[in-house]
Amino acid sequence: MAVGTEGTVVMLVDEKTVRPRRDRLRWVNAASAVAIVVCVVVLVRLLPVEQAVQALQGQVDRLGVFGPLVFAFAYVLAGLLFVPGSALTIASGALFGLVWGTAIVSIASTITAAVAFIIARYFARAAVQRVALQDRRFAAIDRAIGTGGWKIVALLRLSPAVPYSLGNYLYGLTSIRFWPYVLASWVCMLPGTFMYVYIGRLGAQGLRAAGGGSEAVGYGKAALMVAGFAATVMVTLYVTRLARRALAEQDTLAAATVKGMDDEAPASASTPHVRGSAFVLPIGAILLVLATAAAWTRQDALRGLLGPPGAALREAYSQTADGVVFDHSKFDALLQKHVSDGGWVDYDGLTADAADLDAYIAALARAPFDQLGRDEKLALLINAYNAFTLRLILDHHPVKSIKDIPDARRWSHKRWSLAGHTWSLNQIEHEQIRPKFNEPRVHFALVCAAVGCPPLRSGAYTGAKLEAQLADQTRYVHTHDRWFRFDSKGAVVKLTKLYDWYGGDFKQVAGSVLAYAARHSKELQAALDAKKSPRIEWLDYDWRLNTSSNRSGP
């Protein structure tokens, strides 16, 4: 009796001791979860996530028809090496869309399951058996499959008792035949595959919507997408619950699962301790907070990873009063004819005059660049960039957005002949203009054929008028709310994302983005002079084509 009483007292003391610790741990885990969510939201804002998706999409585009094959091969390899496939499955939704992403991952995951099964059964049986002996549930799974065959494999795929990659190998040691195993795996992995691909597709749509891109979704379409995703999750969870109930009817498998859970429990209830795994969430939250803080202090460097490269602005050319003048009259006539006030382009009309545009582009290839003075050089580069962009759109006309053109044939495509060189649009901007001209106003003159970019002038730039033309462009941008808005009462200035992407260029000239913008806004300059510091917000960048049909304002 004394021993029993003593034992009872010990249990009561332990319960009183452990419960507060468990409560505190719950609060710590809850706080950690909130911190993780907040950090993820902040990091998505800080990191060039959209550019990363675009860069990855560009790599896939460059591979052409081999893109899906390379992705599928990487998926199979990752699965065989026990790398979790959820991240790749989500990525497939962003890269290939819902239908093709599901198809590619479904085929790749089934191939992975089949290859791992064959390896376990015929080539690495001894090694896999050693792993199987360490999992108490495997013996029960083996017995259940011996009785129920492919039906048990199907249920386990819907509600896995072992991880996907490990299960692929372990099933190879069971008595199930190969083709029933492959068919059951393929069909019953589809619900989960579809759900993860849906997540990736939603994420890609969200990034484009946040950027105001051509694929930005309206409220109705967004509601349908979210509703569809919610339905997918509900169906998947329902099917998983049905599978779990069916598995519970297999007594040996259910018992083994419970036994496995018991083995993971503390060895003695009278020993008040907390497992190390309980601290995973708080430690992860702390690391993520530190990473977020580091990202916050290095925002410019992070944007340079996948965004426009940084450049040290300097003047590489001298001005000459009696230098050679390049003739831009052909381009000037085209712009006057097909570009209306506000930079709206009649691409149908321009298509009819494509021969004149091609004649001007041919002349650019023979331009005597070295003989031109500083302003003539810059005018030539700006006009060439804009003319090449127009030709790019015509090459894919009709198109809703320049971003609908594969990246491999867009800004990074090295195809444009200028002054004896062959460059890409990116090379013209980032190698020939920015590092060789101390002139941030070029960002208001180079036009990317989008509604959100500065307006295309209805006339060509010339060396003689360049200063006045750049000043007029900059004034126009800072007097239209598509690119600039200042709320003096709310102390908020909303700027085009050009200021975000090329912030380093503006800082080199004016010391800060706000100081540069204030040069072109008396109200903003007055606020800065009054020692006020307005908060910067970035305006959505509308990637729809700058065609006349998309005109919604001045």
Question: Is 100 or 205 the better-scoring residue by pLDDT?
Answer: 100
Which ranges in 86-218 belong to alpha helices (H)? 86-118, 125-133, 136-148, 150-158, 164-170, 178-210
CA distance 206 to 525: 35
The answer to whether residues 437 and 373 touch, using CB atoms and an 8 Å cutoff, is no
Regarding whether 136 and 55 lie in a shared domain, the answer is yes
pLDDT of residue 158: 73
Which ranges in 397-543 belong to alpha helices (H)? 425-427, 466-477, 497-501, 503-510, 513-518, 522-529
CA distance 413 to 396: 14
Regarding whether 335 and 425 lie in a shared domain, the answer is yes
Residues recorded for the chain = 554
Question: DSSP string covering 48-73, please?
Answer: -HHHHHHHHHHHHHHHTTHHHHHHHH
Q: Is the per-residue pLDDT at 214 higher than 50? A: no
- Bridge partners, 494 (sequence order): 485, 537
* Structure tokens belonging to residue 67: 């893109």
- Among 48, 35, 469, 99, smallest CA distance to 283 is for 35
Examine the fold and report which residue of 223, 244, 265 is the final residue of a domain before the chain moves on. Answer: 265
CA distance 109 to 72: 8
Q: Is the per-residue pLDDT at 182 higher than 50? A: yes
In a domain, 294, yes or no: no
The answer to whether residues 535 and 485 touch, using CB atoms and an 8 Å cutoff, is no
Regarding whether 227 and 146 lie in a shared domain, the answer is yes
pLDDT of residue 5: 43
CA distance 530 to 23: 51
Residue pLDDT, tens place only, 92-110: 887 788 888 899 999 999 9
For the packed helices 280-297 and 299-306, what is the interaxial angle rounded to 10 degrees? 90
What is the Cα Rg of the chain in Å?
31
Residue pLDDT, tens place only, 36-48: 777 776 776 666 6
162 DSSP 8-state letter: S
Regarding whether 335 and 256 lie in a shared domain, the answer is no
Confidence of residue 272 (pLDDT cuts 50, 70, 90): very low
In a domain, 293, yes or no: no
Q: Is the per-residue pLDDT at 207 higher than 60? A: no
Domain containing 337 equals 329-483+539-550
In a domain, 309, yes or no: no
Regarding whether 387 and 240 lie in a shared domain, the answer is no
Regarding whether 423 and 544 lie in a shared domain, the answer is yes
- Among 136, 247, 120, 130, smallest CA distance to 174 is for 120
Confidence of residue 291 (pLDDT cuts 50, 70, 90): confident
Question: Is 363 or 409 the better-scoring residue by pLDDT?
Answer: 363
- Among 244, 80, 260, smallest CA distance to 152 is for 244
Regarding whether 213 and 67 lie in a shared domain, the answer is yes
CA distance 402 to 477: 21
For the residues 184-210, what does the mean pLDDT come to?
Answer: 74
Regarding whether 350 and 226 lie in a shared domain, the answer is no
Residue pLDDT, tens place only, 296-338: 776 655 555 556 777 888 999 988 767 789 999 999 999 999 9
Among 31-35, 228-232, 369-373, 512-516, the minimum mean pLDDT is found in 228-232
In a domain, 151, yes or no: yes
Count of domains observed in the chain? 2
Regarding whether 469 and 364 lie in a shared domain, the answer is yes
* Structure tokens belonging to residue 493: 């200035």
Q: Is the per-residue pLDDT at 357 higher than 70? A: yes
| φ, ψ (nearest 5 deg) of residue 457 | -70, 150
Confidence of residue 213 (pLDDT cuts 50, 70, 90): very low
For the residues 249-256, what does the mean pLDDT come to?
Answer: 51
Question: Is 1 or 191 the better-scoring residue by pLDDT?
Answer: 191
Q: Is the per-residue pLDDT at 531 higher than 70? A: yes
Residue pLDDT, tens place only, 398-425: 899 998 888 778 888 899 999 999 999 9
Q: Is the per-residue pLDDT at 224 higher than 90? A: no
435 DSSP 8-state letter: G
pLDDT of residue 208: 47
Regarding whether 364 and 258 lie in a shared domain, the answer is no
For the residues 284-291, what does the mean pLDDT come to?
Answer: 82
Strands 416-418 and 535-538: unpaired
Task: Work out the mean pLDDT of the chain and round it to a whole number.
Answer: 78
In a domain, 158, yes or no: yes
pLDDT of residue 293: 83
In a domain, 243, yes or no: yes
